[in-house]
Amino acid sequence: MSRKPILTLAVPLLTAALLAACGGTTQGDDEDDGGPGTDATANPDAEIQTGLSFAMLPKSVNNPYFEASSTGAEAVATELEGTYEYTGPSDASASSQVSYIDTLSQQATDVILLSANDPNALCSSLDQARDAETVVVTFDSDVDPGCRDLFVSQVDSDEVGLALLEMTAEQIGGAGEVAILSATANATNQNAWIEVIEAELDSNPDYADIELVDVVYGDDEDEKSFSETQGLLQANPDLSAIISPTTVGIAAAARYLSGSEYQGEVALTGLGTPNQMREYIEDGTVTEFALWDPTALGELAAWTGAAAASGIVTGAEGETFTAGELGEYTVGADGVVTLGPPTRFNADNIDEFDF
Ligand code: RAM
């Protein structure tokens, strides 16, 4: 890659000041330093660069889940003496994300951390950004692997889908009609989990008595998720459970259920943040749900971006890097780095968590 990301921790401050005066990065040199976006091999002994510019572009802003990820990423940018920006649309749509990618690439941002609203719609903008030597790390929700350098996955998709179904089966005694309240119709992450649920329902005899009757989309908007919940319950009078694999959806569905005749009658599980779901665990609307640590996910995404911008990894399977205090990670197939298993939250443990 030709943009040489800047300084190592050892470089004197004067040089840092000079480079900062020139915009903080040395761009446009033709030397291939082994970074991502090229056929170059990784240099595991390269030093992690400081002074990088990071930007996080979530599916949408005003979502506490992404705010937690942003806190994690910003802490890494600060530790690496870089700059940090959290920017994105207020609606979770791919078309709204395009202009943010274009702007960040025009600003010659070193590392974009992206949670994508669509696997393909962002690719031409991402290609342009990468041609301009920006490292693109997706996290949370991926694009086609050809359009980014690496993907930081929260949990293996199969594990998420299986955990969602297991919690559902436990909560409805292994039988009944279930419906899914998802985020947006094109979200890569939610669709991967829904596919796992559908395949498992079709093939696993343990779930032979569970029927998926509907999938609806709240678009990661609180009001839409709330009214879709109401619609689901009215359209499916025999519904036993709602599975909502989105922190926005599950919180809105819980709010609807808690004030309705369905509280305690229709189970609700899915992926939520403990802080948004605490009151619904306490009032008995929800028994158990799951999530990973979104702050750690943001941290890992930022370390991954820094390692890629430093030429330590290129996204090839088997490469390793150190993600600060999170420890050592190995790049898996298709340039995927995985954070770890999800945690289940219920009345016994929810007060131990604050995010
Ligand atoms: C919402 C978003 C995000 C998803 C979480 C579980 O905040 O849709 O992409 O990972 O829920």
Q: What is the pLDDT of residues 131-180, one digit of tens each?
A: 999 999 999 999 999 999 999 999 999 999 999 999 999 999 999 999 99
| Residue written as token pair 């070193």 | 110
Q: What is the pLDDT of residues 226-235, one digit of tens each?
A: 999 999 999 9
Cα dihedral 242, 246, 248, 252 in deg (nearest 10): 0
Instruction: Determine the Cα–Cα distance for residues 110 and 121; give it in Å rounded to an integer.
Output: 22
- pLDDT (average), residues 345-349: 98
Ligand 1 atom at minimum distance from 270 CA:
6
* Residue 39 confidence class, pLDDT cut points 50, 70, 90: low
CA of 143 to the centre of ligand 1 (A): 15
- pLDDT (average), residues 9-23: 33
CA of 182 to the centre of ligand 1 (A): 9
Whole-number average pLDDT of the chain: 91
- pLDDT (average), residues 286-313: 98
pLDDT for 41 equals 86
- Ligand 1 pocket, residue 63 CB under 6 Å: yes
- pLDDT (average), residues 6-27: 34
Pairing of strands 176-182, 239-244: parallel
The half-sphere exposure of 121 on its side-chain side, counting CA atoms within 13 A, is 14
- Ligand 1 pocket, residue 269 CB under 6 Å: no
Is the Cβ–Cβ distance between 107 and 83 less than 8 Å?
A: no
Determine phi and psi for 234, rounding to 5 degrees. Answer: -70, -40
Instruction: Give the domains, in start order, of the chain with CATH numbers.
Output: 21-155+293-341 (3.40.50.2300), 157-291 (3.40.50.2300)
Instruction: Determine the Cα–Cα distance for residues 157 and 160; give it in Å rounded to an integer.
Output: 5
pLDDT for 26 equals 30
- Ligand 1 pocket, residue 115 CB under 6 Å: yes
- Tallying the residues shown for the chain, one arrives at 355
pLDDT for 302 equals 98
| pTM for this model (two decimals) | 0.89
pLDDT for 40 equals 65
- pLDDT (average), residues 242-271: 98
- Ligand 1 pocket, residue 69 CB under 6 Å: no
Q: Output the 3-class SS for 153-212.
A: ECCCHHHHHHHHHHHHHHHCCCCEEEEEEECCCCCHHHHHHHHHHHHHHHHCHHHCCEEE
- Ligand 1 pocket, residue 65 CB under 6 Å: yes
Q: What is the pLDDT of residues 94-123, one digit of tens each?
A: 999 999 999 999 999 999 999 999 999 999
Q: DSSP letter for 350, please.
A: G
Measured distance between the N- and C-terminal CA atoms of the chain, rounded to whole angstroms: 37
- Ligand 1 pocket, residue 246 CB under 6 Å: yes
Axis crossing angle, helix 64-79 with helix 247-258, rounded to the nearest 10:
140
Which 3 state secondary structure label does DSSP give 139?
strand
- pLDDT (average), residues 64-85: 98
Percent of the chain with pLDDT over 90: 88
Which of 9-23, 191-205, 276-290 has the least mean pLDDT?
9-23
Reply yes or no on whether the pLDDT at 207 is more than 90.
Answer: yes
Helices (H), the chain: 13-21, 64-79, 94-106, 123-131, 157-171, 188-203, 222-235, 247-258, 274-282, 294-309
Reply yes or no on whether the pLDDT at 243 is more than 70.
Answer: yes
Nearest CA to ligand 1 atom 3: 246
- Ligand 1 pocket, residue 59 CB under 6 Å: yes
